[in-house]
Structure 1
Amino acid sequence: MLGCDLPMVVLTAVSRLNMFRDPGKICGVAKLSKIQHVISCCLLYNAVILNGCLKYLFMLVNFLQFCFELTGTLLKIKSTNEKSMDKLLHAVLPVFSYAVTLLKMQLLNICFPSLGRVDVDHVITRKMQLIAEAEQLKPVFMKEVDSHFTEFVNSLVAKSAFLDSSSSTSFFPASCSEKELHKAKSLRAPPEHGKIFTARRSLLDELFEVSHIRTIYHMFIALLIVFILSTLLVDFIDEGRLVLGFDLLVFVFGKFPVVFCTWLCMFCATVVIPYGLFFHWAQGYCSSSHRVIRSLFYGMLFTLFQTVGLGLGPTYVAVSYALPPASRFIVILEQVRLVMKAHSFVRENVPRVLSSVKEKSSSVPIPRISQYLYFLFAPTLIYRDNYPRNPMVRWGYVATKFAQVLGSLFYAYYIFVRLCIPQFRNSSQETFNLRGLVLCIFNSILPGVLILFLVFFAFLHCWLNAFAEMMRFADRMFYKDWWNSTSYANYYRTWNVVVHDWLYYYAYRDFLWFFGKKFRAAAMLSVFTVSAAVHEYVLSICFGFFYPVLFCLFMCFGMVFNFILNDRRKGPIWNVIMWTSLFLGQGVIICLYSQEWYARQYCPLENPTFLDYLKPRSWSCHMQM
């Protein structure tokens, strides 16, 4: 039965190979003669069957399938870059040819013994040499493929961005200039368009499909298990029983009803007031005889809501109710998020109304309340009437992401219990000196880096992806490959894309629009100042004291590294320098803020003045035993 089917198998194989006979699709190195070895192998099938060597038949079938896949893959890559494809084929085809020759020799020795045996040992030795050469060529091959695949994707994105930003409906011109391509590659459309949203997955979701990257994730899980086991064993040795309480988590997330009520008030106010103010302003702007006065009046009301309603109100609740740190984080971060979203909604829609009035349009472009509500829950700070949407919600994916957030919380709990609290609990008993400070910083690097990874993974990946999945929000580029950054400029752009987009479009670019493009350095400095001030404001309210460590790191070292480690630094050594400085910065933050927290717990003041809140307590607090 197998022998009867062989002619059909051979004809099918030859017909599949004829698909690639077009000399225009194969470069000069990959002529049709390079594939004739495969066809000649097919002609040896009947000889194999006559001699009963079925195992070589199966080997030929597998080899033929490999030939088809290799040829198709090379031709696909060839269509991207012909010059580099010639180099790749020069490296791959000799190995391919020797493999076919070796297979022929094995078949001739078995099928036609009267012809004499071929020196297979010599061929095998040569084959091993070729395998070693192929292993040496593999990194070059993979680097070339990765480079040209990246160029292909960037070119595709550039064409997409060019089409989206173009008012014409014509196709992308084949002879587009390099200047236009470079402008489109930045994924930033002209000012009237702003950020371009497109359906794409998060980078970690793609990387976790690779088993090597997934193993790193498994290593972090194993480290969590080690933390849990060490905590249980130490508690069992000290207490004589298993201590399964989570007092620290209960404390930091305390007074949750107050947190929920505060958030509900903030959210309802953000839904009603910004949308209502914009709606009434837009409805009467066209027919108003005092447009400037009307705009100033509604603008002042909106600014008053932003500063008092969303600014002072939540801060007063967090301080007056003495909310614990994590509960304060929830309130203050939601406060900042809603302020940024309300600003984006007004900033994106006011120019549309002004443009429609200027063009004397019959209708005023006012978004629906449902679009505004969707924006308030969507994981983005840039308002659009519509976003790319997925067709369905994967509830299993949502549950997995929320479970990973919960696991990250317990991970942070064990990091503080095992690495931070034992180190800083008695720090106020020691004199504040340079030696102790240096030891404290280096001992804090490990927990600081782990907390950094957890914040990134839990919030920027899991939390945002969970909400994006529930909202069917398709653009999942909440971060980029910041870990590959060789400059701090690139790190700031890729660490948190959600916030960076808001700062770029509403702080940096609006600054240049207002003052002119000559003040790029001043615009960058203003963005750094705003970002550093907001970060320090969040930490000051959440910890209950003002200790501008993060602000100084941002404004001093961050600005210096931003200019020294700029985008011209491309070598791997700069990535090492970036990671080293990042590690040291995390150690400084964990060390100084932890020391100040415990100093204020152990050395309280009876009647503190305003200056006492500004003066670091850890510099003067020494408990006498």
Structure 2
Amino acid sequence: MACFIVVKIIVCVCVCVCVCVCVCVCHLKLDLMKQFDSQVNEFMDCLIEESTSLESPLLLSSPMSDKERSKMRHLRPSQDQGKQFVIRRSLLDELFEVNHIRTIYHMFIALLILFILSTLVVDFIDEGRLVLDFDLLVYAFGQLPLVVSIWLCMFLSVLVVPYGLFHIWASHRQASHRRTLRSLLAGFLYLLYQGIGLGFLPTYLVLKNGLPPASRFIIILEQVRLMMKAHSFIRENVPRVLAAARDKNSKETNTSLVIPQVTQYLYFLFAPTLIYRDRYPRNPYIRWGYVATKFMQVLGCLFYAYYVFVRLCIPQFRSISLQLFDLRAMVLCIFNSILPGVLVLFLAFFAFLHCWLNAFAEMLRFADRMFYKDWWNSTSFANYYRTWNVVVHDWLYYYVYRDILWMSEKRFRAAAMLVVFTVSAVVHEYVLAICFGFFYPVLFCLFMCFGMMFNFILHDQRKGPIWNVIMWTSLFLGQGVLLCLYSQEWYAQRYCPLQEPSFLDLLKPRSWTCHQQTLPAEHID
């Protein structure tokens, strides 16, 4: 009887302890949720206060004279004339101040460590030693001296030709009796330079010298960037000259304010924006530690991508041409490519849109760091396209979409949107075709077919969480399709080369007909 009472007491004590533990866990959960909510609320309040402080000087400033207002009109466009640059930080820099968000960054670092360890262990087992040669990176970034030489020629030409043509045209326009002829000649020379000097010649040099993929990406992406910068400079300043020419009472404006200084144009060529302004908001000093951190993160992302390809991509696609095509193999290939494709997407976003652009912005004291928005919260592809890459979106919006609306007197909005999608798809496909060395318009088809369709189906009125899930699912699947098909074509081009290909052979994907029985004795990667 005494033993029964003792056992009963012990059971009661255990039950009480369990109840207390459950209550403590519930309280701890509530405390954590309250702490997270308070941090998010404080974060949003700070953003609201900061935006209010940025706008209040414009609202509370004293009235300006007509002369000051005329000068300000040339220095900064009004709300309906162009993009407004304000002082603001990048979104990830603000989010990483929250410990719960920064933990996600730590998880990706842990995954990189596991990739490195797995590669080292496998190489040690296979070779009996540690292999640290990074032959894939050495191959991908080959011929760097030639890359630097081509880039210097492109940069110097962009610095001299567009600015020189504009300066000569703007300086002599008032005194000329043949303004229309001079304008047509200057416009023709500018278009000739854009098409041949900056468009054709770099592409020709890349193809003639057989640069490897990463080196090609450097040249072609810089080619596109400089072409967009030159267009922005001309597009923003020519209307100012024409407007000043109509102002008969302000000769000072014509000579000193309308024509930018070459230092302003030089700053714009390095600034992380594609929209030209004479002046941008600037920070008071440079944080060199921040710059070093961002460049180290870019280097880390580069090695991260290397290990993703070495561990997840090359073993899968190296022998892809040994198998005959069948639906099951294609489906498995696409779904097996989703994980590395998504990792490459995240790495490209973090390395370029966050780290690279922020590093140059910090060195130039460029204060407007909104290079992207919260695209991961998008519930529509329309919002995703606007927030993924704000730098390029601004250029497309102001110089393609709005210019088409201006020329059509705002009558063809759907056509303007179609032109924006077409321009973006063509440029993306051009970059991939030149850099990979073959034409396989997978990205173009995804842009023009599924991208356009989802842009209207998943529009801005879709606000529920389920639409965010659908957006992420579609994005993941698209990355798997891109990585799978382009990787298959890459190896097919090397396993089954054509001796004398015709024009139609260059357009037809090689992976549709390439089926080898054994791997080639020698292949680069």
Instruction: Return the TM-score normalized by structure 2.
Output: 0.87
Within the candidate set 362, 371, 379, 2:251 is matched to 362
1:243 aligns with 2:126: no
Q: Deviations over 1:369-395 (max 9, x none)?
A: 000000000100000101111111111
Compared with structure 1, are the counterparts of its residues 515 and 205 closer, same or farther at alpha carbon in structure 2 (3 Å cutoff)? same
1:603 aligns with 2:491: no
Q: Deviations over 1:323-382 (max 9, x none)?
A: 000000000000000000000001000111111110123132100000000000010000
What does residue range 459-538 of structure 1 map to in structure 2 within 5 Å?
459-538=352-431
1:214 aligns with 2:107: no
Shift of 1:416: 0.2
Shift of 1:457: 0.4
Q: Is the 8 A contact 2:54 2:86 kept in 1?
A: no
- What is the match of residue 311 of structure 1? 199
Shift of 1:514: 0.6
Compared with structure 1, are the counterparts of its residues 455 and 257 closer, same or farther at alpha carbon in structure 2 (3 Å cutoff)? same
Q: Deviations over 1:233-267 (max 9, x none)?
A: 11111111111110000000001111000000000
Shift of 1:294: 1.3
- Give structure 1 stretches of 5+ with no counterpart: 1-123, 171-187
Q: Is the 8 A contact 1:161 1:196 kept in 2?
A: no
Provide the rounded CA distance (Å) in 2 between the counterparts of 1:612 and 1:506.
Answer: 37
Q: Is the 8 A contact 1:432 1:618 kept in 2?
A: no
Shift of 1:151: 9.7
- What is the match of residue 432 of structure 1? 325
- What is the match of residue 299 of structure 1? 187
What does residue range 136-215 of structure 1 map to in structure 2 within 5 Å?
138=34, 145=41, 149=45, 152=48, 156=52, 159=55, 163=59, 189-192=78-81, 194-215=82-103
- What is the match of residue 269 of structure 1? 157
Q: Given residue 200 of structure 1, which amino acid in structure 2 is its aligned partner?
A: R
Q: Is the 8 A contact 1:340 1:381 kept in 2?
A: yes
Provide the rounded CA distance (Å) in 1 between the counterparts of 2:508 and 2:237.
Answer: 44
How many residues are aligned here?
482
Compared with structure 1, are the counterparts of its residues 349 and 232 closer, same or farther at alpha carbon in structure 2 (3 Å cutoff)? same
Compared with structure 1, are the counterparts of its residues 518 and 601 closer, same or farther at alpha carbon in structure 2 (3 Å cutoff)? same
Deviates more, 1:443-452 or 1:237-246: 237-246
Within the candidate set 248, 264, 274, 1:371 is matched to 264
Shift of 1:495: 0.4
1:452 aligns with 2:345: yes
Q: Is the 8 A contact 1:415 1:447 kept in 2?
A: yes
Shift of 1:161: 10
Within the candidate set 134, 140, 156, 1:252 is matched to 140
Compared with structure 1, are the counterparts of its residues 413 and 299 closer, same or farther at alpha carbon in structure 2 (3 Å cutoff)? same
Identity of matched residues, %: 70
Q: Is the 8 A contact 2:492 2:510 kept in 1?
A: yes
Shift of 1:132: 9.6
What does residue range 563-574 of structure 1 map to in structure 2 within 5 Å?
563-574=456-467
Shift of 1:156: 2.9
Instruction: Return the TM-score normalized by structure 1.
Output: 0.73
Q: Is the 8 A contact 2:275 2:394 kept in 1?
A: yes
- Alignment root-mean-square deviation, CA: 2.8
- Which of 1 and 2 has greater Rg? 1
Q: Given residue 240 of structure 2, which amino acid in structure 1 is its aligned partner?
A: R
Compared with structure 1, are the counterparts of its residues 161 and 518 closer, same or farther at alpha carbon in structure 2 (3 Å cutoff)? farther
Provide the rounded CA distance (Å) in 1 between the counterparts of 2:493 and 2:62.
Answer: 60
- What is the match of residue 280 of structure 1? 168
Q: Is the 8 A contact 1:202 1:478 kept in 2?
A: yes
Compared with structure 1, are the counterparts of its residues 327 and 567 closer, same or farther at alpha carbon in structure 2 (3 Å cutoff)? same
- What is the match of residue 121 of structure 2? 233
Q: Is the 8 A contact 2:379 2:467 kept in 1?
A: yes
SS at match of 2:251: coil
Q: Deviations over 1:307-331 (max 9, x none)?
A: 1000001000110000000000000
Deviates more, 1:585-594 or 1:426-435: 426-435
Q: Deviations over 1:91-150 (max 9, x none)?
A: xxxxxxxxxxxxxxxxxxxxxxxxxxxxxxxxx9xx99x979976995997699589849
Q: Which runs of 4+ in 1 moved over 6 A?
A: 130-137
Q: Deviations over 1:502-553 (max 9, x none)?
A: 0000000001001121210100000000000000000000000000000000
SS at match of 1:518: coil
Provide the rounded CA distance (Å) in 2 between the counterparts of 1:161 and 1:548.
Answer: 50
Q: Is the 8 A contact 2:429 2:443 kept in 1?
A: yes
SS at match of 2:305: helix
Q: Is the 8 A contact 1:380 1:498 kept in 2?
A: yes
Provide the rounded CA distance (Å) in 2 between the counterparts of 1:492 and 1:226.
Answer: 33
Shift of 1:301: 0.5
Provide the rounded CA distance (Å) in 2 between the counterparts of 1:210 and 1:486.
Answer: 24
Provide the rounded CA distance (Å) in 2 between the counterparts of 1:222 and 1:518.
Answer: 53
Provide the rounded CA distance (Å) in 2 between the counterparts of 1:596 and 1:463.
Answer: 30
Within the candidate set 509, 515, 519, 1:622 is matched to 515
Provide the rounded CA distance (Å) in 1 between the counterparts of 2:33 and 2:331.
Answer: 46
Compared with structure 1, are the counterparts of its residues 411 and 139 closer, same or farther at alpha carbon in structure 2 (3 Å cutoff)? closer
- What is the match of residue 224 of structure 2? 336
Provide the rounded CA distance (Å) in 2 between the counterparts of 1:513 and 1:154.
Answer: 34
Q: Is the 8 A contact 1:161 1:189 kept in 2?
A: no
Q: Given residue 362 of structure 1, which amino acid in structure 2 is its aligned partner?
A: K
Compared with structure 1, are the counterparts of its residues 157 and 559 closer, same or farther at alpha carbon in structure 2 (3 Å cutoff)? farther
Compared with structure 1, are the counterparts of its residues 206 and 154 closer, same or farther at alpha carbon in structure 2 (3 Å cutoff)? closer
Provide the rounded CA distance (Å) in 1 between the counterparts of 2:409 and 2:62.
Answer: 26
Provide the rounded CA distance (Å) in 1 between the counterparts of 2:137 and 2:322.
Answer: 26
Q: Is the 8 A contact 1:274 1:302 kept in 2?
A: yes
Q: Is the 8 A contact 1:235 1:243 kept in 2?
A: yes
1:410 aligns with 2:303: yes
Q: Given residue 195 of structure 2, which amino acid in structure 1 is its aligned partner?
A: T
Provide the rounded CA distance (Å) in 2 between the counterparts of 1:497 and 1:236.
Answer: 44
Compared with structure 1, are the counterparts of its residues 167 and 272 closer, same or farther at alpha carbon in structure 2 (3 Å cutoff)? farther
SS at match of 2:201: helix
Provide the rounded CA distance (Å) in 2 between the counterparts of 1:571 and 1:256.
Answer: 48
Q: Deviations over 1:278-325 (max 9, x none)?
A: 000001111222222211110110000001000001000110000000
Q: Is the 8 A contact 1:281 1:295 kept in 2?
A: yes
Provide the rounded CA distance (Å) in 1 between the counterparts of 2:116 and 2:273.
Answer: 35
Compared with structure 1, are the counterparts of its residues 397 and 135 closer, same or farther at alpha carbon in structure 2 (3 Å cutoff)? closer
Provide the rounded CA distance (Å) in 1 between the counterparts of 2:209 and 2:203.
Answer: 10
Provide the rounded CA distance (Å) in 2 between the counterparts of 1:148 and 1:556.
Answer: 38
- Give structure 2 stretches of 5+ with no counterpart: 1-19, 66-76, 519-525
Provide the rounded CA distance (Å) in 1 between the counterparts of 2:214 and 2:37.
Answer: 49
Provide the rounded CA distance (Å) in 1 between the counterparts of 2:62 and 2:458.
Answer: 38
SS at match of 1:204: helix
Provide the rounded CA distance (Å) in 2 between the counterparts of 1:586 and 1:302.
Answer: 38
Shift of 1:168: 6.3
Provide the rounded CA distance (Å) in 2 between the counterparts of 1:440 and 1:133.
Answer: 42
Provide the rounded CA distance (Å) in 2 between the counterparts of 1:536 and 1:311.
Answer: 15
Q: Is the 8 A contact 2:54 2:87 kept in 1?
A: no
Provide the rounded CA distance (Å) in 2 between the counterparts of 1:490 and 1:133.
Answer: 34
Q: Is the 8 A contact 1:314 1:332 kept in 2?
A: yes
